[in-house]
Amino acid sequence: MKTFLIRATLVAIICVSGQIDAGIIKYPQKDPSVRIIIPRGWSMMWEKDGSLNCTSPNQSKFVSLVPSENVNSRNELSAQLSKTARDAVSNAKMKDAKLGPVREIRSSGLNMMSIRADGTIKSRAMTITLVAFAPSKDYFTLIALEPSSAQDKEISSIINSISSAR
């Protein structure tokens, strides 16, 4: 019985180790300049390239935080955001995609740019939202995918939680 309890505890620890318990994540891992709050129960995985991928408990929503490379100005960031949105639509195999304009937004004291695409993926209405920002000299992009019907507060709360870590 004692061996069973030890094994069950180890399995539980291993299974939960990828889960985030409603906490503040600092990004990137090395020399963080951004803080972001991920909802309770979401899983997360750090990629070798430094990207952070997060998935909702029912796997219907996805958020990825990635460095925006080769960007030196807001104009370059805007152009890259549009291209990244088109790439995301293509990679997700989104049909009948309607890509909106790049918009300027402000949240938690950061100037940001966002763009949104609405369409269908596997006959399901979906929304892809991209938000780019620069809390310091480095630029980052958050990419979110969610069912269009879900447009609840979870993705918005993640986006609104982005702030400078300094």
Supply 23's token pair: 């906490």
**Cα–Cα dist 98/155, whole Å:** 19
Number of folded domains that form the chain? 1
- Among 57-61, 72-76, 92-96, the minimum mean pLDDT is found in 72-76
**Cα–Cα dist 91/85, whole Å:** 10
| Residues 125, 118 contacting (CB under 8 angstroms) | yes
- List, in sequence order, the alpha helices (H) in the chain: 2-16, 74-91, 153-161
Please report the pLDDT score of residue 153 as a whole number.
80
Q: What is the CATH number of the domain that holds 134?
A: 3.40.1000.10
Confidence of residue 151 (pLDDT cuts 50, 70, 90): low
Confidence of residue 152 (pLDDT cuts 50, 70, 90): low
Please report the pLDDT score of residue 65 as a whole number.
94
Q: What is the mean pLDDT of residues 50-56?
A: 93
Confidence of residue 4 (pLDDT cuts 50, 70, 90): very low
Tell me the residue range of the domain where 127 lies: 2-164
Is pTM beyond 0.85? Reply is: no
What SS3 state is found at 108? coil
Q: What is the mean pLDDT of residues 137-161?
A: 84
% of the chain at pLDDT higher than 90: 51
